[in-house]
Structure 1
Amino acid sequence: MDEFKINHLYPEYGKKEQKHEYKSIKKMISKVLNISENNVCSIESVGGMTNKSFKVFINNEYYILRIPGNGADKIISRYDEKYNSLIANDLELDTDILYFDEENGVKIAKYINNAQTIDPKIAKRKENMIETTNLLRTLHKSNMKFSNEFNVFNKIEEYEKLLKESNGNNFKDYSIVKQQVLKLKEILKDLGEESVPCHNDTVPENFVKSDDKLYLVDWEYSGMNDPMWDLAAHCLECDFSNNEEELFLSLYFNQEVEPRYKTKMLIYKICQDFLWSIWTNIKEANGDDFGTYGEDRYNRAKTNINKILELN
C-alpha cells in the first residue's frame, strides 16, 4: 500500500554487559517484591524496540519484566498507563500486573504461556484479523473511561517542547509540513470525531496470541481517542494492502465501510507518522539510535499529505 519501507533498529548487547545487567535485575526484583534473590531463578531477554523486556522465573512462575528505555519518563505518564492497564485487565484484554512502579515505569506482569507475538505477516491472515478486530471492538465499545485524553495535535506540541529540552533537531522543512498537518484538524472535525478508550499503539507486536486467546499488551500510550486511530495504526504498522485494509475495516464494522472512515484512516496515518517522527528525534537526542526509522515515517507522512490534499 505504501511505497515507503520503515527500517527498525534494535539494540544489541555484549555478554559481559548482559551478565552485569542480569545481576542488577535480580537485585531489583528481589527488592521490589521483597523476596530472596534465590527465588529469581532465570532471566531471559526478549528484546523490545524502546523498552527492555525480560522473561523472568519467580517463585515457580514466569513473568514479564519491563524496564523503560531512555527518556521514556518524559514522554509517558505512568499513572495513566497503570490506571488504563488495570481497566484493560478487567476487560480481560491483558494479563495480571504483579508490580507497577508509577515513578520509573518498571512493570512485572504475568507471562503469557505458549505466546506467539503477532508480526505483520501473521496479522494479514483473516483469522487473526477477526480476532484483532473483535478485541479492538470490545475495547472501543466497553463504555469504560480511561484517565487521560490522547489528542495528537496536543501531543505534537508536547513532543516539540521535549525535543527542544533535549537539544534535539527536527527536519529541515518541519515547519512547513507541520502547518499542513495542522490543517487536518478541521477536516477531522467536519468528518466527526469520537472519544473512546484506545490503545493508540496497535503495532502487531503488541498483540500476543496464546492458544485460543489474543491479548493486547503495553498500554503506555493509551487514552481516550477516536477508535479510527487504533485501526489506522494497525493497518499502517502491518503494511496492509488496499484489499487487506478493506477486509480489516469490514470485519471491524461488520458492514461496508463508509467513505468518511477511509478518509479518517488516511489522516490518522499521516498524524501517526508525523508524531512518531518527532518521538524518534526525542529518543535519539537521549542517546538511542533508530537509523532511518524517523526519517522514513516523516517522508511517508509528506507523501500521504499530498493524497489528502488531492481529495479535498
Structure 2
Amino acid sequence: MAIMAWHEACQLDTSLRSLDHFFSLAPEYAQTLIGGLTNRCWKVKTQGGDCFVWRPSTHITKALSISRFHEQQILSLIQDTNIAPKPIYLNEHGLLVEWIEGESLADGLPFESILRTLVKIHNLDITKVPIAPFNFTARVDHYWMVLREDLQLDEYRDLYQQWRSVPSIDNVTHSLCHFDLAGYNMVKHPEGIKVIDWEYACISDPRLDLAMTIGVTGEKPLESVYRYCQLRNIENVDDWVTGVMAWKPRAEVLAMLWYLLAHQLKGHDKYLEEAQTLCYSLTSQSS
C-alpha cells in the first residue's frame, strides 16, 4: 500500500478530484488499498484525522455490472445495523464510505463466525430496499457477451449454456445477500465483526449466497447447510440442501466467467488460472 500526498494521488486517479468540493481542506494523504480486482480503492485521511474509503466508478465496474449508486442504496438502508461501513458521499465518479478501523480477518477466521455473519445479513429487513432483485441469468449472459473471442472460449461455452438458467427448486424468501462473504471482507472491530466491500450485494435467493460462501471458503456443503439452518431455525433442511446444491454449479459458472472477464480487463494470468480450475472442476462433475 502506497501513501502519497493528495495532489499526487489526484494525478494518479483523477476521480479523486471530484471530492474537492466535499472536503473543506485538501486531505492530508491518500493511500492505495490492497484488494480485489474491481478497482484501486483509496484510504483518504483528512487534515482533522478522519478516514474514509474512496470507491471509484470506472470501465471495470461497468463491465462487471457494478453500480456505486446501487451499493450506496444498500449501505444507506443497513447503516443503523452497524454491520457495514456508512455511505458518506456519492457522485458520478464513485462512492465515499466510512473507513472501518480494525484487524483484517482474511486469515484464520473460524467458519462458524462467517456463517453467523451470513445469517445476520440474511435476517436483515429488506422491505424498504429500493432495488430490483438479482437476475442470475442476466448477469451471466452479460459476462459472457462482453468476453472477447480471442480468449479461446470453446471449453467454457458448454458450461455457460448448461448452467445459465436458474434452478427449478422450491422458492424461499429472498434476503439481502453479500455475494462475496469470506474473511477477506470482514474486519474485527471493537463493536464486533464488520463486513466491507458490498459492491456485489443484491436481493436474491440466500441459498445462492450460501453456496458462494461455501465455495470460496472450501467448506463441506452438507455440514455447512445444516449448521446454517440450525442458526436460522430453519426446519426444512433437506429443501435447503437441495437448493444450495442446485445453485452450487451455477455459482461456480458465475465465478468462472467473472475470472475470465477479470483476466480480460487486467491481463493477470492468476485470473485465467482460477477460471481454468473452475472449468475443469465443473467439467469433471458433469462427466
TM-score between both structures, scaled by the size of structure 1? 0.76
Question: Which of the residues 136, 159, 168 maps onto 1:189?
Answer: 168
Identity across matched positions, percent? 16
Is residue 2:67 matched to residue 1:77? yes
AA in 2 matched with 1:72:
T
Question: Which of the residues 69, 76, 79 maps onto 1:89?
Answer: 79
AA in 1 matched with 2:232:
F
Q: Which has the higher contact order (CA 8 A, sep 6+)?
A: 1
Structure 1 segment 169-184 matched on structure 2, within 5 A: 169=151, 171-182=153-164
Question: Which of the residues 223, 228, 243 maps onto 1:264?
Answer: 243
* Equivalent in the alignment of 1:233: 212
Query: How far, CA to CA, are the matches of 2:253 and 2:222 in structure 1?
Result: 25
Query: How far, CA to CA, are the matches of 2:115 and 2:263 in structure 1?
Result: 36
* Equivalent in the alignment of 1:137: 122
Write out per-residue CA displacement over residues 201-239 of structure 1, whole angstroms, 9 at most, x where no aligned residue.
Answer: 223322222124222222222222101122111121111
Alpha carbons 2:147, 2:260 under 8 Å: kept: yes
Q: Deviation above 6 Å: which 4+ runs of structure 1?
A: none
CA RMSD between the two structures: 3.2
Structure 1: where are the runs of 5+ without partners? 1-11, 307-312
Structure 1 segment 85-234 matched on structure 2, within 5 A: 85-101=75-91, 103-104=92-93, 106-113=94-101, 115-119=102-106, 121-124=108-111, 126=112, 128-129=113-114, 131-139=116-124, 141-164=125-148, 169=151, 171-182=153-164, 185=166, 188-234=167-213
How far is the alpha carbon of 1:130 from its aligned partner? 5.8
How far is the alpha carbon of 1:48 from its aligned partner? 0.8
Alpha carbons 2:169, 2:243 under 8 Å: kept: no
What secondary structure does 1:150 align onto? coil
Query: How far, CA to CA, are the matches of 2:208 and 2:121 in structure 1?
Result: 11
What secondary structure does 1:159 align onto? helix
Deviates more, 1:222-231 or 1:81-90: 81-90
Query: How far, CA to CA, are the matches of 1:170 and 1:156 in structure 2?
Result: 18
What is the aligned residue count? 280
TM-score between both structures, scaled by the size of structure 2? 0.81
**Residues 144, 205 of structure 1: alpha-carbon distance in 2 compared, 3 angstrom cutoff:** farther
* Equivalent in the alignment of 1:7: none
